[in-house]
Structure 1
Amino acid sequence: MEKTACLIVDVQQSVVSALPDGGEELTEKLSRLITWCRQQMVPLVYVRHDDGEDRISEIDSRIKPKESEIVIDKSYPSAFLETDLESWCSEQGITQLIVAGMMTEFCIDATIKSAFERGYQVLVPQGCCATVDNEYLTAQQTEEFFEKRIWQGRYAQIFSLESLLSQPVKK
């Protein structure tokens, strides 16, 4: 049986505020995912990007971690590169990761591929990764492209958030 942890990547105030709705839709979905993880006793790991020079911003207050939950700071797009994430997963016996957060085409993509390369089964709930429009694609096009063409069946399994939330809560 797979032992699962959930990574909430780069959902920091400075990044979420760049979303058109100020991050309301993303943080609402992540709040539901986080609540389910807590009910299921699935460990939550919050990952923050540190740009250096004391510019690390705090995790969005709408999904704030509890004191007992892990926060890992990273300096590269992948949550694994030069962090304690891999050793923590190994110590905990984690073999499966749920990955959600920001920015789809950068840190989420790098983390998913790094997890896959390390042998983790990766799960991505639809709509729980976000980005902003760029000069080539809208945010929605980017998110759909990565979910359907890059990750699905290659690096991760994509599933609906509703299907996860409908799983019975462990007692």
Structure 2
Amino acid sequence: MSAPQNKQALIVLDMQNGLFHAPQPPFEAHQLLQNINQLIDYAHLKQIPVFAIRHVGSDHTPLASTSPLTQFIAELNIDHDLDQVLEKTRPNCFFQTNLEQRLKSLNIQELIVCGLKTEFCIDSTCRAAKDLRCN
């Protein structure tokens, strides 16, 4: 009998217009997008759940959920019919969202986290995920 495999999920953070197409774009933006799209395509192929999460703010601000700045970039391979799309208001994707419950309902044991920005939302989300893990 083979060892049980970890059930994985892919989390794609903040790949939205206001960050990706900013006056100072991400380092090697084209390669970053290519790498993330490869991860998304692989997840789709292997039936790994994909969670696309975008940062939003208050209505009537540049970060409103309807603002062009907070929309996912058109080049991103997110499938809105297949992937789970969430909104967050803090760097930590677990804060005041139902992400943890969604992951638990799928028995997810391992997260693959990518997107923007490493020093903010990626860091906060990875630290929170580690704190939430119960053994």
User: What interval of TM-score do these two structures reach, taking the shorter chain for normalisation?
Assistant: 0.7 to 0.9
Q: In structure 1, what is the equivalent of residue 76 of structure 2?
A: 63
What residue identity is the alignment partner of 2:117?
A: M
Structure 1 portions without partners, runs of 5+: 121-171
Query: CA offsets per residue over residues 107-139 of structure 1, 9 Å max, x none?
Result: 00000000111118xxxxxxxxxxxxxxxxxxx
What is the identity percentage for the equivalent residue pairs of Structure 1 and Structure 2?
27
In the alignment, which of 87, 91, 103 is matched to residue 89 of structure 1?
103
Partner-residue secondary structure (3-state), 2:122? helix
What residue identity is the alignment partner of 1:2?
A: N
Establish whether residue 17 from structure 1 lines up as the match of residue 12 from structure 2.
no
What residue identity is the alignment partner of 1:16?
A: F
Q: In structure 2, what is the equivalent of residue 53 of structure 1?
A: 59
* TM-score normalised over the length of structure 2: 0.82
Shift of 1:21: 6.9
CA distance in 2, matches of 1:83, 1:72: 8
Alignment: residue pair count: 120
What residue identity is the alignment partner of 1:49?
A: H
Of structures 1 and 2, the one scoring higher in RCO (CA 8 A, sep 6+) is 2
Q: 1:20 to 1:97 in 2, by over 3 A?
A: closer
Q: 1:64 to 1:83 in 2, by over 3 A?
A: same
* TM-score normalised over the length of structure 1: 0.66
Structure 2 portions without partners, runs of 5+: none
